[in-house]
Structure 1
Amino acid sequence: MQISPSILSADFANLEAELGRIATADWAHVDVMDGHFVPNLTLGLPVVEALARVTPVPIDAHLMIDDPDRWAPAYAEAGARSVTFHAEAAAAPVRLARELRAQGARAGLALKPATPIEPYADLLPEVDMVLVMTVEPGFGGQSFLDVVLPKIRRTRQAIRDRGLDVWLQVDGGVSVDTIERAADAGADVFVAGSAVYGADDAAGQIARLRELAATHAH
C-alpha cells in the first residue's frame, strides 16, 4: 500500500519545503496540466526537473496533457521515476510505454472516470501502473466518485487474470473516509492531495491513510 501525496494541494511558492513535509510518503505526485487536455494549467517540465533535484521521495508525474507521445519521455529524462500518460490522449500507447521504460521510468496508463479498462486490458503487460481517476481530472479538492469502484475491481481482476505485477493507482477525493473503499476494490497506490496537505501533521496523515488502506488490502 503506497501513498503518493499530490502537490496540487501544496503551497506552490514553497515547493521544496512542501516536499519535505511528505518525506515519509512513497511518492510525490506531480500533476502536469496543459490547459487543453484538462481545463487547468499547473506546471511543466522545468518545474518537474527542479523538483526532481530536491525531492526526498521519487516523483510520480501525472501528465494530463495533449500529445504525451511527444512530451512524456522528457519527463522521464527530467528525473520523474514514474510517468503516467492518459489513454485518451496517447496516439501510440505501447510505443510510448516502452520509451518511458527505456528511459528508466515506470510507465503508467491513466483512465478518466468514463473511460473503460476493457479496450486497454491487453496492453497491461506493457505498463507498470494503471491510474483509475476517481474524479474528473483538472482540479484538486473534488469528491470521490463511488461510481468508479466497479471499474477499479474489473481492472484489478484484469491484472490478476494475466498474472501481472501492475500497480493500481487511484487519484481524486482520496481521504480517510474513502481510502478503505478504494483499497477494498483493489487499488494499492493512493494519491491524496488536500487530505494530506490540509492536515496539520502531514506525516501522521500519511501513516493513517497507509494503515487504513492496509487493513482493506486485496
Structure 2
Amino acid sequence: MKTPVIAPSLLAANFLDLGKEVDMINRSEADWLHLDVMDGRFVPNISFGLPVIAQVSKVCTKVCDVHLMIEEPGQYAEAFAKAGAQYLTVHLEACPHLHRNLQQIKSLGMKAGVAINPHTSVRLLEDIIIDADLILVMSVNPGFGGQHFIPHSLDKIRQVREMIDSTGSAALIEVDGGITADNAGAVVAAGADVLVAGSSVFGAKDPMAAIRALRNVTAPTVK
C-alpha cells in the first residue's frame, strides 16, 4: 500500500505557542501543514485568517495547504497567495462559478483544490475534476475539530478514485475529518493520497510518533 502524504491540521494546535507547534511539524515526518480558514458564515465557526498564515508560512518548511471554509473565496485568493499558500482549496458548495475559481487560483501560482461536504454527491465533480489538482473529501461536517469519521466517506473516496482514474485527472485525493491511526489504513486503501489529522496528532502525548504512525499505516485485514 502506498505511503500517504500526512498533513497535520493547525486547527488542533496550541495557539498560545504556535511557533513551537510549527517547529515540531518541521522536525516531524509530516509532508504538509493543513490550515483551516473559517468565516462563521459558510461554517458555524471562526478560526484564523491571513495574518496567522502569513506568519506561519515564513517559518514552516512543509507545504502550506490552505482549506477555505468561507463564502466568496474568490475575493481572497490573491491575498492567500501572498500569505504563502501553496495549495488553496475552495468548497464546491460555496462556488457557483467553480471553474473560474480554480483558474484564478492556478493563475496566482497555487495548486487548486475542490472540497465536498459529507452530503454532497461525488457526481457533481464530473465537470471539474480534470481541472483540479486536489479533491478534498470531508469525512466530518466542516466547522469543528475533534469529530468522528463518517463511515460512508469510504464509499465517496472510492467513487472519487474511480472518477480520477477514468478521466485521467491528476488530482490528489485528500481526506479531512476524524482521521486516526485506527482508520487511516482503510482510508488509504479506499484511494486517499493525503491524510489531514488534527486532534489525533496535536492531542497525542507524542505528536511526532502519531505522525509516524499515520505514515506507516497498513491496509486493514479483510475478514
* TM-score with structure 1 setting the length: 0.95
Percent identity between the two aligned chains: 43
What is the match of residue 3 of structure 1? 6
Equivalent pair of 2:130/2:168 in contact (CA under 8 Å): no
RMSD: 1.3
CA distance in 1, matches of 2:25, 2:52: 18
3-state secondary structure, aligned to 1:208 = helix
The one-letter amino acid paired with 2:22 is L
What is the match of residue 13 of structure 1? 16
| Match runs of 1:156-171 below 5 Å | 156-171=161-176
CA distance in 1, matches of 2:81, 2:187: 28
The one-letter amino acid paired with 2:137 is V
Instruction: State the aligned residue count.
Output: 215
Task: Deviation per CA, 1:76-113: give whole Å up to 9, x if none.
Answer: 22111111110000121111111111211111100000
The one-letter amino acid paired with 2:38 is M
What is the match of residue 159 of structure 2? 154
Structure 1 residue 61 corresponds to structure 2 residue 61: no
Structure 1 residue runs of 5 or longer lacking an equivalent are none
Structure 1 stretches of 4+ with a deviation exceeding 3 A read none
* TM-score with structure 2 setting the length: 0.93
CA distance in 1, matches of 2:150, 2:168: 28
> In the alignment, which of 21, 25, 48 is matched to residue 22 of structure 1?
25
Structure 1 residue 118 corresponds to structure 2 residue 145: no
Structure 2 residue runs of 5 or longer lacking an equivalent are none
Equivalent pair of 1:199/1:205 in contact (CA under 8 Å): yes
What is the match of residue 49 of structure 1? 54
CA distance in 1, matches of 2:179, 2:134: 18
CA distance in 2, matches of 1:31, 1:38: 11
CA distance in 2, matches of 1:99, 1:162: 22
Range with bigger deviation, 168-177 or 203-212: 203-212
CA distance in 1, matches of 2:82, 2:98: 18
